[in-house]
Amino acid sequence: MTQSISQHTPLQNTPAFSPQISVPAIYMRGGTSKGTFFKLSDLPERCQVAGESRDNFLLRVIGSPDPYGKQIDGLGNGSSSTSKTVILSPANNSHDKADHDVNYLFGQVNIAKPMIDWAGNCGNLTAAVGACAINMGLVDADKVANSTDNGICEVRIWQENIGKTIIAYVPVYLNAQGKVQVQETGDFELDGVTFPAAEVKIEFIDPVDSSSDMFPTNNLVDDFDVSGCGLNTDSVKATFISAGIPTIFMNAEDLGFTGTELQGDINSDSETLAKLEAIRAKGGVAMGLFKDVSEAQTSQHIPKIAWVAPAQSYNASSGKAVEAADIDLVVRAMSMGQLHHAMMGTAAVAIAAAATTQGTLVNQAASAGQSAKQLGEVRFGHPSGTLLVGGKTEQVDGRWQAKKVSMSRSARRIMVGEVFVPADAF
């Protein structure tokens, strides 16, 4: 005789009931990253200020921490490029934010740990901030309306994480109903993104504090102590730079690389990943970011670690041929412990600043076969293809400064709606 299961028997492994709350959100691609965008005033009240509640809320939105590494129960996609959050708010135009349109706060969500890194910016998602701010109504309506004269709305962004100004030139158009809208589709192709879209030009203004040196060790090239990191040498040449995001550049050959590596060559090799993380930790100490290498675990977003080599031909991850004659150098960079599938926008700022400063390892790689020279822009090869960046650097009172760095990206809304989070999660 079959025993029936009572309809009142509770399901196993089901915790006490907690309702879900819904919060307005926009899911956007910016450059080669994706993130969940919020308007500050839309967040639950206790999440409108920095702290544990906000962090826990955003962790649950993205689906972290996830020991499986997939973020199945959230909006993250199991990669550093998609485990990202953005909070936008009106610019209050205090003295240091005069004439800005929007405040932009970025959070890099750790996939496996209950941690959000607020220490730096995301240059890729920066491309989506201007468009998102317009769509959220955070940019003055008259300014947006007047931008139809030339089809470009200049959005001045205050990047709260690093306290810097970024200008996004967002294409707009007048729709059939006479309303100004952001133009999201177009024919601009960005390597690392499958489909073309509208071009968004980005300018990073004074990406280095005027009171500090772009090169924190006061050297363009250092002898970097990497003893105990698993290399066949105790010292390698390195350029330490703080522009866009603190970054450690080394020559590919010193690490046993060619500079044409793809994700599968690095991310599947646990021994190589451990070596690179050990080097990153030591570099953070050398740059003054950490007092001890153990502190590196608390801030995986900075510094970045990258390696460069002279221009050479290779096949990108899509199979597309990248010809040496079409680029100035090759660069590979790590993000949150993994080789990035393309190039982080903030690291691209560092590349532009270093490449346009005569004498750095990046400049030397771009000037291979000739004496180091002052460059105005470079096109570098990355795992997904190429990227053109420009920069203007100069010495002021004996300190190197990057006055402006520029690049072109694209952005697109993927979803506009509400994200649901269990009320007991934060």
State the catalytic residues: 122, 344
- Nearest-angstrom CA–CA distance, 399 and 389: 22
Three-state DSSP class for 297?
Answer: helix
Backbone φ and ψ of 99, nearest 5°: 70, 20
Backbone φ and ψ of 402, nearest 5°: -95, 115
- Nearest-angstrom CA–CA distance, 154 and 204: 13
Q: Take residue 403 and report the two structure tokens written for it.
A: 């006055």
Cis bond upstream, residue 303 (ω within 30): yes
Backbone φ and ψ of 55, nearest 5°: -60, -45
DSSP 57-111: HHHHHHT-S-TTSS-TTSS--SSTTTSEEEEEEE----GGGTT--EEEEEEEE-S
Return the amino acid letter for 364. Answer: Q
CA-closest candidate to residue 170, choices 189, 161, 157: 157
| Inter-residue contact 321 to 313 (CB < 8 Å) | yes
Backbone φ and ψ of 42, nearest 5°: -85, -15
| Inter-residue contact 335 to 31 (CB < 8 Å) | no
CA-closest candidate to residue 125, choices 183, 73, 166, 185: 166
